[in-house]
Chain A
């Protein structure tokens, strides 16, 4: 399967602990997005990368959150000192930007469900 993969699928942690999630995009895709989705809501944009450069970061992303995409391939999202309000599904998506007005068809991974106790 060559879709977007995320690891782990589920993570339970205690408040105050650090967690790290990984996303492997579709191999030829140059854009990678992170979203957060809570129950009954649509995905909320967190950040996105074009290749290895982080080009946009939501104000939702506090200084406890950091994302990286070394070498423009996989990406990691780290949450430090987790809080109960961080409990959510964290979604990763990737797309191929071709420079034209074609929009960004994003391919989503299955998500990582985080529960902070």
Chain B
């Protein structure tokens, strides 16, 4: 069975600083990996996904994530935080053999200080 662990329920950074949100997954078969963002009172929106091929994935709003199979990680980064990045971020895993159900992590709330 798949699972996702997001380290840190809250992360606080200063505007302009590096953003690093950590995600580790468990899967016995090649996974699809996703990062979603949820702004207050809005639905979840896909930031980026890894399916196959290049392990460094670029997404919207300057975010990127690197799939590291040896570390079973898919950490999300952004070189320079902006106030508008303040939101809840969810890492998720899906597999073909898992019936296409998506397992989400508990989420990390990102705070950006001026």
| A interface residue numbers (CB < 8 A to B) | 4, 31, 33, 35, 40-45, 48, 55-56, 58, 91, 93, 97, 101-111
Contact = CB atoms under 8 A, between A and B. Distances in A.
Interface string B69-96: 0000000000000000000001010101
With a 10 A CB-CB cut-off, give which of B32, B34, B43, B96 has the most chain A CB atoms.
Answer: B43
B101 interface: yes
Q: Is the interface of A mostly helix, strand, loop or mixed?
A: loop
Contacts of B46: 105-107
B27 interface: no
A91 B43 contact: yes
Contacts of B67: none
A43 B104 contact: yes
A103 B94 contact: yes
B94 to A, nearest CB: 6
Interface in B92-114: 92, 94, 96, 99-107
Contacts of A108: 36, 43-45
A110 B32 contact: no
A104 B102 contact: yes
User: How large, as a class, is the contact surface on chain B?
Assistant: 20 to 34
Contacts of A111: 43
B9 interface: yes
Contacts of A35: 104
B106 A42 contact: yes
Given A40-B9, A43-B104, A101 B44 contact: no
B100 A48 contact: yes
Contacts of A48: 99-101
Contacts of B44: 43, 91, 93, 106, 108
Contacts of A42: 4, 90, 92, 104-107
B49 A40 contact: no
A33 B50 CA distance: 20
27 contacts: A31-B100, A33-B102, A40-B9, A40-B106, A42-B90, A42-B105, A43-B44, A43-B104, A44-B104, A45-B102, A45-B103, A48-B101, A55-B99, A55-B100, A56-B99, A56-B101, A91-B43, A97-B100, A102-B51, A103-B32, A103-B34, A103-B50, A104-B32, A104-B100, A106-B46, A108-B45, A109-B43
